[in-house]
Structure 1
Amino acid sequence: MKEKMEGFVTAVHRDRYEVRVDGEDFYARLKTGVYYSEERAEEFPTVGDNVELVYNPMGDSLIVKTKNRTSKFSRKDPDNGRGEQIIAANFDYVFIMMSLNFDFNLKRLERYITVSWQSGAQPVIVLTKADIAEDLEQKVEMVSRIAIGADIHPVSSITGEGMEQLKKYFEPDKTIVFLGSSGVGKSTLTNYLLGEEIMETAGIREEDSKGHHTTTHRQLFVLNNGTKIIDTPGMRELGMWIVDDGMEHSFSDITNLTMQCKYSDCTHRGEPCCAVASALENGTLTYARWKNYLKIQKESNFQAVKESRSKSREIKKTNKKMVRNSSKVNSRKEEW
């Protein structure tokens, strides 16, 4: 009888997984009958997932169950028509990493903050390359206006600036996922924390400050003290999945304004006593933030409608199958 074990996924390579069980790493594949059946009883595992598997000492083991998740980071799958793509699972902190050079982009940061709150974990803003930053204090202030409820840490892997402040997140029972565009320093920070060159790093083009994709797949590392780090490929574009809960956190200032409008169904397009319009007029709310809020809200609502329709089709498909099966059973009874 093959032995059943529990472990966690450390890397995903197409249809093959790296799994760690009691400190030992080995490869595994999904059990076809469980994950590829018509009913598909289990969620496909991702990096950070706890899984049950049947151990095979002669080759790849078989993953038979994906355990319940405490948190997950997802986005719209870059491949059209594939719906939600889950990037990582079961983490406590999301290190949203953005460099302080020409890649500095507040709109993109707002998107990352939104999906981070949606994940169920605590976002932490890590501003990298502080050693070469111009107008550092001004940029930190700009970030603080939109990173409501999140800690902000300017750091440098070159000089060590700000690294000491990050240590409080690295506890033995904690997992941290790194998010950010290519070239912001995720792999560099991973190497710094691990104390060795585990992840390949590359420079940034000076003309546009864009980095190379040195991390090509999601991977989980375990520090000497037991802290887990999930490094992810750079994502310059982040397609929104459903982020209604995340928006309540990341845009809580706008949510509070909408509740102050005179009319509960205010569209914020010219109604009298509109708190949003007043905030835009007096400058307490910028037009850039308001437009980005509307854009993210539109994307989230669109995905919610698509997901609802998809589930309705699945329910109809299941009901039809049940009717067909019932008809077959009744037909056999009549034959008997």
Structure 2
Amino acid sequence: MEYHHLKEYGLTDYFIRQADCYDGLYLARVSEQHREMYQVISEQGELQASVSGKLAYQASGCEDFPAVGDWVMIDRDDDRSGRAVIHHILKRQSVFVRKAAGTANTLQIIAANIDQVFLCMSLNADFNLRRLERYLAIAWDSGSTPVVVLTKTDLCADLSQKLAEIATVCVGCDVITCSSLEDYGYEQVVSYLTKGKTIALLGSSGVGKSTLINRLMNSEILATHETRKDDKGRHTTTHRQLMLLPQGTIVIDTPGMRELHLSSADLSRSFDDIADLATGCKFPDCSHTAEPGCAVREAIAAGELPQERFENYLKLQKELDYEGLNFRQREQEKIKRMFGSKGEMKQLMQHVKNKRHYTNNRQ
């Protein structure tokens, strides 16, 4: 079967080979998600779809349901006979996933089958290096390539300083600066737009993702709002959606995220400077806290590694270690971190108790 229309939306041989295994079904790409309803793009056009009862029954979590960017197999390729039914999700090439908000240990897929992730951060009060490190760790783990897009340069009085700070965390990652007010920097963004490639835009509310897409679309296709007086963003995009740019690039717009909890992350890639330093430590299992001959601690003391970056690295590492553990397992992990083992904790507590008893008897 020829796929002229779907190839415009990023279809590759990787997904065609998978689709050929399903007789009697049609290939489509998920373009929008609204709770249990989906908008999909088939070779014949757009139509609404819902998942089959079997797919929903066999799903063990949110990650087993379709997400924007997914390639799926549906029972019809037009809406003349009603809403389509999604029977299968094809194996993903990349996926940006986070732990869903709340206490439940569930995952949320932000976008699937993306080639590049534009991590958008504005140069006003939204500027936060520690949050950017978190985004980068997940982006590298997703299987796509991150590009940092710094917006609202017109609101930044110390751009050179901000770029110098960004350089310390964006190792091996391109950085773009732009401003919608001053009509600056968009030619840099356009240089990344390749026909048939999929790009997802992620970032906090109000950083200018919708404004950027409108500029690339040469149309006010997405609603935008001014930033609040306290520089905090307003939610403009309410759901994830996939669009085709005039340049032939597929772009996925996402709602602003106030929280980004880790489910998995590539710390070795996003903190490769710390990983490189660790190879010079005296002990191969160095925790970089109190061991002698620690190259990481020496770099911090020499001002070569910011203390804040190292502390955030430990924070993210601890978050990953705790991911998926129940309450008892979390407590055991805390004990292990503090004392080495439960037995050592008991020994220490007994030592403290004996010391207090000895001191009280002497008094």
- Shorter chain as denominator, the TM-score bin is 0.7 to 0.9
Matched, 1:226 2:241: no
TM-superposition CA deviations, 1:280-315 (whole Å, max 9, x none): 111111111011001111111111556xx9xxxxxx
- Give me the whole-angstrom Cα distance separating, in 1, the residues matched to 2:178 and 2:44: 31
- Give me the whole-angstrom Cα distance separating, in 2, the residues matched to 1:287 and 1:126: 25
**Kept after mapping to 2: 8 A contact 1:171/1:225:** yes
The 3 A distance-change label for structure 1 pair 166 and 31 is: same
Q: Which runs of 5+ in 2 are unaligned?
A: 1-22, 330-363
Give 3-state SS (helix, strand or coil) of 1:285's partner: coil
Give 3-state SS (helix, strand or coil) of 2:200's partner: strand
**Kept after mapping to 2: 8 A contact 1:101/1:134:** no
TM-superposition CA deviations, 1:154-181 (whole Å, max 9, x none): 1012322111111221111110000100
Q: Which residue in the other structure is 1:173 paired with?
A: 196
Q: Which residue in the other structure is 2:269 paired with?
A: 249
- Give me the whole-angstrom Cα distance separating, in 1, the residues matched to 2:59 and 2:293: 54
Q: Which residue in the other structure is 2:321 paired with?
A: 301
Residue among 49, 57, 71 paired with 2:80: 57
Q: Which residue in the other structure is 1:164 paired with?
A: 187
Residue among 118, 143, 160 paired with 1:120: 143
Matched, 1:192 2:212: no
Q: Which residue in the other structure is 1:94 paired with?
A: 117
Give 3-state SS (helix, strand or coil) of 2:323's partner: helix
Give 3-state SS (helix, strand or coil) of 1:249's partner: helix
Q: Which amino acid aligns with 1:294?
A: L
**Kept after mapping to 2: 8 A contact 1:52/1:64:** yes
Q: Which residue in the other structure is 2:310 paired with?
A: 290
Q: Which residue in the other structure is 1:107 paired with?
A: 130
Larger Rg: 2
* Aligned Cα root-mean-square deviation (Å): 1.8
- Give me the whole-angstrom Cα distance separating, in 1, the residues matched to 2:158 and 2:169: 18
Matched, 1:143 2:166: yes
- Give me the whole-angstrom Cα distance separating, in 1, the residues matched to 2:25 and 2:246: 27
Deviation at 1:37, TM superposition (A): 3.6
Q: Which residue in the other structure is 1:236 paired with?
A: 258
- Give me the whole-angstrom Cα distance separating, in 1, the residues matched to 2:232 and 2:36: 30
Q: Which residue in the other structure is 1:209 paired with?
A: 231
Q: Which residue in the other structure is 2:280 paired with?
A: 260
TM-superposition CA deviations, 1:47-78 (whole Å, max 9, x none): 00001000152321000110111110000011
Q: Which runs of 5+ in 1 are unaligned?
A: 310-336
Give 3-state SS (helix, strand or coil) of 2:168's partner: helix
Q: Which amino acid aligns with 1:16?
A: M
Give 3-state SS (helix, strand or coil) of 1:290's partner: helix
Give 3-state SS (helix, strand or coil) of 2:141's partner: helix
Give 3-state SS (helix, strand or coil) of 2:322's partner: helix
- Give me the whole-angstrom Cα distance separating, in 1, the residues matched to 2:60 and 2:267: 32
Matched, 1:20 2:20: no
- Give me the whole-angstrom Cα distance separating, in 2, the residues matched to 1:296 and 1:141: 23
- Give me the whole-angstrom Cα distance separating, in 1, the residues matched to 2:163 and 2:285: 36
Deviation at 1:39, TM superposition (A): 7.5
TM-superposition CA deviations, 1:197-235 (whole Å, max 9, x none): 1111111112x2101111111111111232110011101
- Number of corresponding residues: 302
Q: Which residue in the other structure is 1:7 paired with?
A: 28
Give 3-state SS (helix, strand or coil) of 2:299's partner: helix
- Give me the whole-angstrom Cα distance separating, in 1, the residues matched to 2:262 and 2:60: 27
Q: Which amino acid aligns with 1:150?
A: C
Q: Which amino acid aligns with 1:198?
A: I
TM-score by length of 2: 0.80
- Give me the whole-angstrom Cα distance separating, in 2, the residues matched to 1:221 and 1:204: 24
- Give me the whole-angstrom Cα distance separating, in 1, the residues matched to 2:184 and 2:60: 52
- Give me the whole-angstrom Cα distance separating, in 1, the residues matched to 2:150 and 2:52: 42
